[in-house]
Structure formats: structure tokens, C-alpha cells
């Protein structure tokens, strides 16, 4: 079928950003397993973009490859399943930002390569350009390279499939601008920024349909142990908050603006 794709979205879970996160020795997050979790926001954007692309091109399919403790995955998938249709590939592995990117990428690449009937000539590997968990900025790129995919785009805000099958990519570059690139087609890697799509509404019917496949996937989730590869952390701490307040009466607006500009320049 012309212009159909097999889209694989790589993701992890992160603590709900509304929670107070406190690093502890290890390093790790205090009471991390007790904190409510959500799908990584950057990966969530890529999942919504993947679903929209698949819906626009009949015959396409979306896979979500997620690594996290199985119990946490089950909790989060009950919510994510109501957003978009996908097939889950679950990895029962560690959760958190203090893991080695190379080991994580190797585990993801192995899981992707093991997907039954995966056609690499139609493979689009999606994920977050950044991450609220494994934010090394190289995990997705490394996973793509391990799969032999050399066409990679990072900071993607828009992906358009042309009639001739070429992929037109809008990438973020410095200065608040975008770079337009053309890719001949799959396979390719796309690290998404925020994209252009809003979060889809919950659909209980879609959730029930997805859970029929998610539950068996969680039951056979492959245990993954990530090697440190010599990675170590000297310390981890919450950034210090600094607040400097000065009360001034009757200052002209122009002078306030000049002070703000001078402060920003520093």
C-alpha cells in the first residue's frame, strides 16, 4: 500500500511534574515509586503525531515501545490507551533519569528489532527530542543508529508526506527559526519537539480496544537490566531558588523597561 508506515514511538514514564521531586543518594528520586507517573511529555507529543500520521495514511500502524517498571506501566497505560490507537511493546526496566543512555538505547533497539513482521523499509522511529527522564539527548539517536537508520532529524515540529513519498520535515534551529529538509522516505528517525497537535480527548471505547492488547503485552514484558557502563554521579540536588526584591516608588515605565533589558542581558 503506497505511503503506509510502521511507526515506532519510544517512550518512558516520568513522575507527574506537579509533584515535588527531591534527589537522594544513589542517585535517585525520593519515594520515586510512590509518585504518580505520566507518559514522558515529549514522547507523548510524538505519539500523538504518530497516530495522526497513521490515520492519514491507511495501512499504517503505531507501536509504543515503553520502558518502566511493569506496575507503573500498567497504571499509566490505562490513561494513555484512551488517547490514540497503538500496540504496546513493554520493557520491564528501571525508571528515572539516572540511567545510561547507551544501555537504554540498546534495550530499545533490541525490542524494536524483535517486533514480529516489522518492515524496516516502512519504519519511522519517533520519540522525544528531549526527555523529562532519560534526557541525555542521545538515546533516540543511538537507538536509530543501532537499527542501521542514518536519516535522522531532531527538534521536529512538523512532518508532511508528499505525493511522491518524500518526507518534508520542519526542524527547529537557532534563532527561533525552522529548517525545511527533504527525506526520500523511510526508514528515518524523528526526534519531536512539541509538534502541532493538541492532546486528544479521552475515548473509553478506544481505551477498551487498546487494553485488549496492552494487558497481554504487560504480562510478557521482557525484564531489562541496564548496565552503568562506568557512568557515575558525584552529586544531585534541587536547584537553588534565588529571589532578589527591590521596592521602588514612582519609577517611570521607560526606566523599568531599561532595567529589565539590562538584567536579561546579564
Rounded to an integer, what distance in angstroms lies between the CA atom of residue 190 and that of residue 154?
6
Select the more confidently predicted residue: 239 or 170: 170
pLDDT digits (tens, 9 = 90+) for 101-128: 788 889 999 999 999 988 999 999 999 8
pLDDT at residue 243, rounded to an integer: 74
pLDDT digits (tens, 9 = 90+) for 41-86: 888 999 999 999 999 999 999 999 998 888 888 888 989 999 999 9
pLDDT at residue 208, rounded to an integer: 93
- The pTM for the full model equals 0.80
Domain range summary for the chain, segments of one domain joined by + = 6-223
151 pLDDT band (50/70/90 cuts)?
very high
CATH 3.40.50.620 for the 6-223 domain, yes or no: yes
Is residue 144 predicted with pLDDT exceeding 90? yes
pLDDT digits (tens, 9 = 90+) for 58-67: 999 999 999 8
pLDDT at residue 194, rounded to an integer: 84
pLDDT at residue 75, rounded to an integer: 87
Is residue 135 predicted with pLDDT exceeding 90? no
pLDDT digits (tens, 9 = 90+) for 1-42: 468 899 999 988 887 766 666 666 666 666 666 677 888 888
Three-class SS string for the chain?
CCCCCEEEEEEEEEECCCCCCCEECCCEECCHHHCCEEECHHHHHHHHHHHHHHHHCCCCEEEEEEEECHHHHHHHHHHHCCCCCCEEEEEECCCCCCCCHHHHHHHHHHHHHCCCCCCHHHEEEEEECCCCCCCCCCHHHHHHHHCCCCCEEEEEEEEEECCCCCEEEEEEEHHHEEEEEEECCCCEEEEECCCCCCCCCCCHHHHHHHHHHHHHHHHCCEECCCCCCCCCCCCCCCCCCCCCCCCCCCCCHHHHHHHHHHHHHC
Is residue 231 predicted with pLDDT exceeding 70? no
Query: For the chain, how long is the longest CA-to-CA vector?
Result: 72
Q: Please provide the average confidence, as pLDDT, over all residues in the chain.
A: 85
Peptide bond into 187 cis (omega under 30): yes
Three cell numbers, residue 233: 554521579
Q: Are 211 and 81 in contact (CB under 8 A)?
A: yes
Three cell numbers, residue 104: 537504554
Amino acid at each position: 500500500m503506497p505511503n503506509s508506515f510502521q511507526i515506532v514511538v519510544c517512550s518512558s514514564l516520568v513522575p507527574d511534574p506537579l509533584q515535588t521531586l527531591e534527589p537522594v543518594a544513589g542517585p535517585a528520586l525520593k519515594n520515586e515509586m510512590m509518585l504518580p507517573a505520566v507518559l514522558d511529555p515529549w514522547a507523548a507529543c510524538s505519539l500523538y503525531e504518530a497516530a495522526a500520521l497513521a490515520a492519514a495514511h491507511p495501512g499504517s500502524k503505531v507501536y509504543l515501545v515503553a520502558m518502566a517498571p511493569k506496575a507503573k506501566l500498567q497504571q499509566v497505560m490505562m490513561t494513555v490507551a484512551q488517547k490514540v490507537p497503538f500496540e504496546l511493546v513493554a520493557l520491564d526496566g528501571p525508571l528515572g533519569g539516572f540511567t545510561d543512555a547507551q544501555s537504554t538505547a540498546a534495550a530499545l533497539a533490541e525490542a524494536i528489532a524483535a517486533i514480529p513482521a516489522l518492515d524496516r523499509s516502512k519504519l519511522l522511529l519517533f520519540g522525544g527530542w528531549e526527555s523529562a527522564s532519560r534526557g541525555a539527548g542521545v538515546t533516540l539517536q543511538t537507538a536509530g543508529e543501532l537499527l542501521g537508520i542514518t536519516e535522522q532529524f531532531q527538534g521536529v515540529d512538523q512532518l508532511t508526506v508528499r505525493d511522491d513519498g518524500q518526507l518534508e520535515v520542519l526542524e527547529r534551529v537557532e534563532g527561533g527559526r525552522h529548517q525545511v529538509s527533504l527525506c526520500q522516505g523511510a526508514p528515518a528517525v524523528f526526534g519531536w519537539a512539541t509538534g502541532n497537535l493538541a492532546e486528544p480527548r479521552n475515548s473509553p471505547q478506544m481505551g477498551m480496544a487498546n487494553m485488549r492488547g496492552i494487558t497481554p503485552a504487560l504480562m510478557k514484558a521482557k525484564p531489562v537490566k541496564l548496565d552503568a557502563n562506568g557512568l557515575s554521579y558525584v552529586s544531585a540536588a534541587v536547584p537553588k531558588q534565588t529571589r532578589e526584591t527591590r521596592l521602588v516608588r514612582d519609577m517611570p515605565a521607560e526606566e523599568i523597561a531599561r532595567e529589565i533589558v539590562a538584567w536579561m542581558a546579564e
